[in-house]
């Protein structure tokens, strides 16, 4: 595995913690902006896809820092909403990163829908951009359903409403992503799957 330092191109504290935790078993040296004495520029996420936005963030961080940079763009696709909120997941309710407002809006949009029509998936695109122009891009999903109320205090985003299919059991007793411990979540989550794929690509001969 490469011993290069990799910059995590995000200012989101909870996402940083999750990225570091998932990548730690791969013996990657990961850094955040404060650790290298840098304040990353804000990147406008203008891409039409998760892949577009992940690359925008990683390319900008790599250009600014001169380090290989890892970024992801993730979100929720709800079938009953035609795939929304999608790339607008973090600003579904109109303000960026307001989890409570986003979750409240999602519940309102799905009000009255039965369980079988509440299918959804978390999507993650993750990439690594190198100073020499090399780029590695992967993607992964986690299928599930949207609960009728928020449960759990772990995670972030829509975790407290997402019932992952990979956790077996009757829907009435199934935990949300926010009720899983870190190990359980990372094993099945979209971000866990994508980052493991990315780490493998980073470790391959390029």
Domain 5-203 has CATH 3.40.50.1100: no
DSSP label at residue 85:
B
Check residue 167 and give its pLDDT: 93
Check residue 206 and give its pLDDT: 45
Helix residue spans in 25-128 (DSSP H): 50-65, 99-109
CA–CA gap between residue 37 and residue 89 (Å, rounded): 30
pLDDT tens-digit readout, 89-116: 999 998 887 999 999 999 999 999 999 9
pTM of the full predicted structure? 0.92
pLDDT in tens, the chain (206 residues): 345 899 999 998 889 999 999 999 998 899 999 999 999 999 999 999 999 999 999 999 999 999 999 999 999 999 999 999 999 999 999 888 799 999 999 999 999 999 999 999 999 999 999 999 999 999 999 999 999 999 999 989 999 999 999 998 887 889 999 999 999 999 999 999 999 999 999 987 54
Give the CA radius of gyration of the chain. Answer: 17
What is the percent of the chain where pLDDT is above 90? Answer: 87
CA–CA gap between residue 202 and residue 11 (Å, rounded): 22
Which tokens belong to 184? Answer: 């359980």
Residues annotated as catalytic (active site), given as ranges: 73
CA–CA gap between residue 162 and residue 142 (Å, rounded): 10
């Amino acid at each position: 595995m490469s011993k290069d330092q990799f910059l995590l191109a995000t200012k989101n504290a909870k996402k940083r913690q999750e990225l570091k935790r998932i990548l730690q078993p791969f013996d990657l040296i990961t850094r955040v902006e404060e650790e290298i004495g840098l304040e990353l520029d804000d990147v406008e996420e203008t891409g039409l896809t998760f892949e577009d936005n992940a690359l925008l963030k990683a390319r900008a961080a790599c250009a600014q820092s001169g380090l290989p940079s890892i970024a992801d763009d993730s979100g929720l696709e709800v079938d009953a909403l035609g795939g929304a909120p999608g790339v607008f997941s973090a600003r579904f309710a109109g303000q960026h990163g307001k989890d409570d407002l986003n979750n409240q809006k999602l519940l309102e949009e799905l009000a009255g829908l039965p369980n079988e029509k509440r299918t959804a998936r978390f999507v993650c695109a993750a990439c690594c951009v190198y100073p020499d122009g090399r780029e590695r891009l992967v993607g992964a999903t986690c299928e599930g359903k949207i609960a009728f109320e928020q449960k759990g205090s772990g995670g972030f985003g829509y975790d407290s409403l997402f019932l992952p299919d990979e956790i077996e059991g009757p829907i009435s007793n199934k935990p949300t992503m926010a009720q899983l411990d870190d190990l359980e979540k990372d094993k099945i989550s979209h971000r866990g799957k994508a980052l493991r794929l990315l780490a493998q690509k980073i470790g391959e001969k390029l």
